[in-house]
Amino acid sequence: MFLTKSLKSPFYQVVYEVNGKRTTKSTKTNNQEKAKRFMAEFEQSISIPTTINSVLTLNQFKNEYINYMKAACSNKYMKQIDYTFLKFGMYIGNLDLAQIHLHSIDNFIMSIFSKTPYLAHLHYRILKAAFSKAVDWNYITVNPFKKIKFPRIPKTIPVFITQNEFNIIIAYTNDKVLRDLFKVAFNTGMRLAELVNMRLNWIDFHNRLIKIKCDSHFSTKSKKERIIPMNNNVFDILMNTDLIINLDDYIFRKVPGVKLNNDYVSKNFKKCVRAAGLDDKIHFHTLRHSFASVLIRKGVSLYIIKELLGHEDLSTTQVYSHLQQQNLMSAVKLL
C-alpha cells in the first residue's frame, strides 16, 4: 500500500492490491500529511484478503519460475536454476510447496555442503530467491530458506598469473586462433563466453573499442552491454585476424560462421598450463583475474575495474582489494 498522485486527479490516491489486482482509493486531499493519515486509517479499516495456492507442486512452480526468469538471466544461469530445482526435487520429491519444510531443506543443503560447499551455496541462493518469489505470488506465506543459517565459506584469493607466466603458457600452443584468443582474454578480462561469441560488428577499430553486445544469439551474464577499450596488443591482434567479410561472423573461428566450443578452448588452455609445468589451479578464468590484478597493481580504482569486468555489484570486485592494500603499504613505505 502506498500513496501516489496522477494528472487525472488533484488528490493523492492510495494504491493497494486485492486478490493480486491493483486498485486505488482517493484520499480527497492534496495535502501529503493528511493523505498519509488517511492511508493509515484506511489500512486499519480494511482487511485485504490473500489467496494462497497450497496445491502447487514443486515442478509446477519450477516451470513457472523459469519462464519468469528467462527475460532477466543468461542461458548459463538458467541452466543452473534448472539443475538446482532438479537436484532439490530428486531429494525431496515433487511435493506441494506448502509441504516443503525446514528440516528437509536443511538436510538437502547440508548433504551437498559436506562434499562441495560452493555448490551448496549456489543451490541455497537460487532456491532462496525462487521461494521469495513464491511468497510474492501468494503460493506460500513464508520463505523457509530465510530461516536457514548457511555455514560460512572461507573466501579464497583468486589465482592470477604474471605477464611472464602468461608468455610461458602461450608458448605451448601452435594454434594461432587459440593463442590470439588467450592474448585478448589476458588483455581485456573478457569472459570465455564473450570471447567465443565476439563478432566483427562488436569491434570499433576507429575508436579502439570492443562493444560487448546482447542480441538474440548471445547475452552477457548480467544482460547488460559494456565497452572495453583496446590496448595496442589487442588492437594488433584483431587487425591481423583472418579476413572476415560478414559483420556477423565470429572473430575467433576455425570455420566461417561456426563459433568455438567453450570446453575446447578451456581444455586446450589447461593443456598448455600443464605442459608449462605451472600451478594446476590455473585455468582459463585465471586470465580474467590476472587482467584485474595487473590493473590493481598499476593503481586503477576498483570502480573502474568493476565497469571493465561487467560486475553488477562492487562487492564482487572487492575480492581483489587485498592487492590494493599491498599497493597502499608500498606507497607508505616511500615516506
Q: Is 4 helix (H, G, I), strand (E, B) or coil?
A: strand
Is 191 tagged catalytic? yes
Pick the catalytic residue: 125, 133, 253, 285?
285
Pick the catalytic residue: 5, 25, 208, 221?
221
Nearest alpha carbon to residue 189 among 155, 220, 219? 220
Nearest alpha carbon to residue 253 among 196, 307, 303, 193? 196
Is 288 tagged catalytic? yes
Nearest alpha carbon to residue 270 among 259, 284, 257? 284
Pick the catalytic residue: 12, 139, 250, 320?
320
Pick the catalytic residue: 123, 179, 288, 289?
288
Is 320 tagged catalytic? yes
The stretches of 137-213 forming alpha helices (DSSP H) are: 163-170, 176-188, 192-197
| 10 DSSP assignment | S
Q: Are 54 and 98 in contact (CB under 8 A)?
A: yes
Pick the catalytic residue: 62, 123, 183, 311?
311
DSSP string, 102-139: HHHHHHHHHHHHTT-HHHHHHHHHHHHHHHHHHHHTTS
Pick the catalytic residue: 123, 191, 199, 306?
191
Residue tagged 543459517 (cell numbers): 149
Instruction: List, by residue number, the catalytic residues.
Output: 191, 221, 285, 288, 311, 320
